[in-house]
Amino acid sequence: MQTTAEGPQFAKLILEKDGYSWIDPVVSDTIYYYEKVDVSGDTLLLTDGFKHPTLCIIEELHDSMLTLSHVAGFDKEITYKKVFDHNEGPFMLERFKASDFSKDSLDVIVKSFLVWDYYQKYEDTKSYHSLTKAEMLQARELLRQYMTDGSLEKDQFDNEDAYPLDHYIRQYESYVEKGHLYVRVTLNTYIYTEKCCGYTVLKRDIYDVEDGGPTHARATIDLTTQKVVDFSTNGYA
C-alpha cells in the first residue's frame, strides 16, 4: 500500500455473498462491478454483468491485504484492502449534509459500470460519456451562473425556489445525444447511506429522491451549447 500526503492509495475489492462485488480504485474513482468471483490457486477470475472475464494473478495474500498483478485494464500492480461486512450487524443509516463538507468537496463524478450498464440497456438514443474533471467544472460554473443571474427564478414555474448551489451535494453523470454532450446533475442537501459506507458511496450510483421539495433537485446542462437546459426542484409526496 502506497501512502501519500493525500492518504493511502489503495483500491477496495469487496466480495459479497449476494448481489454485486466491486473494485473501487481510489485514484481513478471508477467502480468496477462483478457478478461472479472465482479463485483457483493463485488465479482470481472476475466476471462482470456482460460475462466479460478479468483474469488476475494473486502475488500476495495475508491478513487484510491482497496484492494482484497482471490485471487486465491496469498498467501496474494493484493492492486491495479488506473491508468489513457491515451487513452482518444491524442495518443502520448515516446522514451526511452538504454543510458537513468544505465547498470544494461537494462534487462527485459518478463513474460506475452500473451506470454505464444502464445507458447500454435502457437508453436507445443516448450513449454514456465518462465525464472529466474539467468538464465537470465547466458544468458547475454554468449551473452556478444560472442559479444566480435570475434565469432560475424565471424557469421555476410551480416548483419551490432552490437553495444556493453550495447547499447541495452534487452528483454528475454525462451522456451524448445527437452530437451534444450533456451533464446531468443530481443535487441533494443531505443523503443517507449505510453506516460506515460513507460519502464516497455516491460514486457507485445515482442518489435520486422523488420528493422532499427543494432539498433535492435536478439539472441538465448542455456543454455543447454552454446552457442549462433543464432545472427543477422536487415536489412533495
Tens of pLDDT, residues 85-111: 444 444 567 788 888 888 888 888 887
Cell triple for 94: 448515516
Q: What is the DSSP code string of 150-217?
A: SHHHHH-TTSPPPPPGGGSEEEEEEEEETTEEEEEEEEESEEEEETTT-GGGGGTS----S-SGGGEE
Q: From the CB of residue 175, how many other CB atoms can be counted at a distance below 10 Å?
A: 19
Tens of pLDDT, residues 191-218: 887 665 566 677 777 888 888 889 999 9
Q: How far apart are CA 99 and CA 81, in angstroms?
A: 30
Strand partners, 47: 36, 53
Q: Is 91 helix (H, G, I), strand (E, B) or coil?
A: coil
Looking at residue 195, what is its pLDDT?
60
Q: Are strands 36-40 and 43-47 parallel, antiparallel or unpaired?
A: antiparallel
